[in-house]
Structure 1
């Protein structure tokens, strides 16, 4: 029987971390929390559980999550964010892997809760994520803040688990607006460091396409008002990312 490490990175997740930990305690053999010096009650909540709590200055989303992997005792990983939890069905699916691990990694759908509503469309579901994996065969990659697990060899095989990763995203429109502004700044800086460009056609076309895909092709209109809000903000973060990138390019010309 293999042993599993649950790995989480946190910063001010007092609102959600208890649900996250409760969903892991009967599934994994250890829980590792790497915290970026939270100023809320995240640490005290974690202290009520049997977790390895490590404080580490934030290195960037990709870098912090790769650091967290190195702190785990076991090679088989269940990775969650502090605002995520395993559904009961997914818990059972992962427990069954302990005696039946056949692949290098496993995908599960992520089910997002936005302003109290579980979003079924709007390009947010099924939002498949590779979160159960062998760390010897995978690492976190991507352009901050959009991280993802990537297998080191494209020939590695993956499986699909029943159940959902439950994700409590933004619970107010104001929070969504602030995060859109924050994440677009991070993305613009990452794009600038990669030498990407921001021509006018991208500023015009990419946000338009982002809205059209989320609202019409991915049936966002079926999620009602929140589907429209999500689709608009999907376009907005794309618009802000490229306009901020253009500003960075001109400011450093």
Structure 2
């Protein structure tokens, strides 16, 4: 299991969250859910997922925080949930990592040495079940994995990205999927 915490923001994501978490296939040591006071079954699902993950040596911690903006919420999660793993990762509840990316993270991430503090991933966007391959939408390269404490989410109204505070990046070759 990789020394990795995955931070996922939620608001009524009962439908998507299980698929996201399960896509990691036992790779991540911890999941942190930062919820904006969901009114569906998200919290109950998180309790069940935590029980399942503990059987394989992982965990899922559920926090609630009032929504201001995406960047505020993600940065709150990074700073206030006691992340003590070497690496952190940003995911959305409607995203998942492909099996080959899970294997790549498990194999390569423990071998990454400083000054590399960030991992660029390739994102495939699906809309209404169809992969958007053309029009400059693929591959979309995004900083998604970073050494804990070495990155934050930029304060933008939309299309926020992670910004490294120091160090360099490398690119992994496999994809994550965004199911819009």
The TM-score normalised by the length of structure 2 is 0.86
Q: 2:61 maps to which residue?
A: 52
Equivalence for 1:118: 131
Alpha-carbon distance in 1 for matches of 2:127, 2:7: 24
- Paired residue for 2:143, among 118, 122, 130? 130
Higher helix share: 1
How far 1:97 moved relative to its partner?
3.1
Rg larger for: 1
**Other-structure match for 2:17:** 17
Return closer, same or farther for 1:2/1:113 CA change in 2, 3 Å cut-off.
closer
Q: Within 1, Cα distance between the matches of 2:148 and 2:169?
A: 13
Q: Which ranges in structure 1 are unaligned for 5 or more consecutive residues? A: 170-253
* Mapped partners of 1:138, 1:65: distance in 2: 11
Number of equivalenced pairs: 167
Runs (4 or more) in structure 1 with deviation over 6 Å come to none
Cα RMSD between the aligned structures? 1.7
1:175-190 alignment, distance < 5 Å: none
Say if 2:101 is the partner of 1:90. yes
Q: Which runs of 5+ in 2 are unaligned?
A: 51-59
Give the deviation of 1:124 after TM superposition. Answer: 1.9
**What CA deviation, in whole Å up to 9, does each residue of 1:44-87 have, x standing for no partner?**
22222121000111121111101111212324112101111111
The match for 1:161 is 172
- Whole-Å separation in 2 of the counterparts to 1:55 and 1:145: 22
Return the offset for 1:98.
4.3
Choose from 134, 141, 162 the match for 1:149.
162
> Cα–Cα, structure 1 residues 122 and 12, in superposed 2: closer, same or farther, change >3 Å?
farther
Between 1 and 2, higher relative CO (CA 8 Å, sep ≥ 6) is seen in 2
